[in-house]
Amino acid sequence: MKLLRFLGNEIFLGSLIAILSVLTAFASFQGSIADSKQNEHEIKAMQLLNDGNAEYLSANQFIVYDYTMYDGWYTTDSEDKASYYEASYSPQLQESIANNADDPFSDAYYDAMYADANDLWAESDANFETAGQWDNRGDGLQRVVLIMALGLAFAAWASLAGEGSNMRLLFSAFAVVMLVMGIVSYLGVTTVAA
């Protein structure tokens, strides 16, 4: 028991309180940064998702227009009208006809028409994924804050007990355990690639 008496030392307790306070504040600061980054990526992901939806609807309108122009070209009996309809095709339909005149509305045509929407959706998904990683990091840091705050509370209670008290030693030991658990927990918090 005499080996554990250093736990009740005023300087040791003061140092323990200072270390736990700084580490609690540091983990809390990093947690707030993680929450901010999560929010930033979620907002960007929602914006990209909305932009992708708008591009998808726009592509649908152009596809309907291409079908209308193609039907007009197919049914016309005038070379002038046929030229007008052909000139009105979207660049994607013109390229599709050049590649395969027998199947102008092929999968390649639709892929080209929806390419911008698909790119925006992919970027949105990537941002949602990054936001989830920041969320996990923030959750881990909040756990560290909780553990360190418990250690700080134990150290504070230890400092209030009498110098020769066994409760002082017990609370001080709990504070040290919380410090070690907090450090181990901090080292286990996931990082997010920049």
When pLDDT is cut at 50, 70 and 90, the band that residue 95 belongs to is very high
3-state per-residue secondary structure call for the chain? CHHHHHHHCHHHHHHHHHHHHHHHHHHHHHHHHHHHHHHHHHHHHHHHHHHHHHHHHHHHHHHHHHHHHHHHHHHCCCHHHHHHHHHCCCHHHHHHHHHCCCCCCCHHHHHHHCHHHHHHHHHHHHHHHHHHHHHHHHHHHHHHHHHHHHHHHHHHHHHHCCCCCHHHHHHHHHHHHHHHHHHHHHHCCCCCCC
Q: Which two tokens stand for residue 28?
A: 């809390």
Spatial separation of the C-alpha atoms in residues 28 and 26, rounded to whole Å: 5
Question: If we measure between CA atoms, which residue out of 86, 88, 93 comes closest to residue 59?
Answer: 93
Its pTM stands at 0.80
In the prediction, which pLDDT does 67 show?
95
pLDDT score for 65: 96
pLDDT tens digits along 18-70: 999 999 999 999 999 999 999 999 999 999 999 999 999 999 999 999 999 99
Quote the pLDDT of residue 2.
60
Each domain of the chain, given as residue ranges in start order, spans 2-187
Q: CB neighbours (10 Å) of residue 18?
A: 12
The yes-or-no verdict on residue 160 having pLDDT over 90 is no
Percent of the chain with pLDDT over 90: 78
- Residue 194 has what pLDDT? 66
